[in-house]
A and B are shown apart, each in its own frame.
Chain A
Amino acid sequence: SQTIHQWPATLVQPVGSPLSLECTVEGTSNPNLYWYRQAAGRGLQLLFYSVGIGQISSEVPQNLSASRPQDRQFILSSKKLLLSDSGFYLCAWTETEGYTIYFGEGSWLTVV
């Protein structure tokens, strides 16, 4: 069966520091991968998605970037965090031709 792992689960970082959140999917090949952000009390915002290694599409211009160095690995990064980057970050995947989205457990980022 397929599983998705996301880490770290919680993170407190000072303003201006770098960020790296990692996500891996197991049990499937060539998944579509996604990063979402969920601000407190708000809905989900799609940040990035990827249909293959090295292929990244950005939905919202921002202080963040994403990379996909391997087929089942998706990384969310920032060189310098802003206070507004605080939130709950969710990694997700779908099959190449699938509609159903499967989510990781999420990562809480607090920028102080």
Chain B
Amino acid sequence: AQSVTQLDSHVSVSEGTPVLLRCNYSSSYSPSLFWYVQHPNKGLQLLLKYTSAATLVKGINGFEAEFKKSETSFHLTKPSAHMSDAAEYFCVVSSNTGGFKTIFGAGTRLFVKA
């Protein structure tokens, strides 16, 4: 069985400070993991993905995430937040369990204060 848990429903940071959005997953198979960003009234945009290559994955807009199998985590980070980073972020796990199965996290709303 697969599951994904985003540990914070809301995160608030000041502009220029680091961002940490936490995601834990559970999967009986070798999973692929993704982070998506959704700005208001927009579709989901792929930020980055892990598919069993390098465990530190770099994405767009300065974001990166590290796959830690021992901790079953895939946290999203950014060294310095920008006002334009304010959005909803979704952690996603997917694997081939006799058919592709994709599970979305509940989302984390990121607020960036000036």
Binding site for B on A (CB under 8 A): 6, 32, 42-44, 46, 88, 90, 92, 94, 99-106, 108
CA distance A42 to B104 in the complex (A): 11
CA distance A108 to B105 in the complex (A): 21
- Which partner residue on chain A sits nearest B51 by CB separation? A99
Binding site for A on B (CB under 8 A): 32, 34, 36, 41-46, 49, 51, 90, 92, 94-96, 100, 102, 104-107
Task: State whether B34 touches A100 (Cβ < 8 A).
Answer: yes
CA distance A100 to B48 in the complex (A): 10
Q: Which residues of chain B are within 8 angstroms of A44 by Cβ–Cβ distance?
A: 44, 90, 104
| Whole-angstrom distance between the Cβ of B46 and the nearest chain A Cβ | 7
Q: Which residues of chain A are within 8 angstroms of B96 by Cβ–Cβ distance?
A: 99
Task: State whether B92 touches A106 (Cβ < 8 A).
Answer: no
Query: What 10 A-B pairs come out closest when comparing CB atoms?
Result: A103-B43, A99-B32, A103-B44, A99-B94, A105-B43, A106-B43, A43-B106, A44-B104, A104-B43, A43-B104
- Which partner residue on chain B sits nearest A90 by CB separation? B43
CA distance A90 to B107 in the complex (A): 16
Task: State whether A100 touches B46 (Cβ < 8 A).
Answer: yes
Please tell me which one of the listed residues A99, A101, A106 contacts residue B42 in the complex, with CB atoms under 8 A apart. Answer: A106
CA distance A25 to B61 in the complex (A): 25
Task: State whether B42 touches A105 (Cβ < 8 A).
Answer: yes
Q: Which residues of chain A are within 8 angstroms of B36 by Cβ–Cβ distance?
A: 103
Task: State whether A100 touches B41 (Cβ < 8 A).
Answer: no
| Whole-angstrom distance between the Cβ of A23 and the nearest chain B Cβ | 11
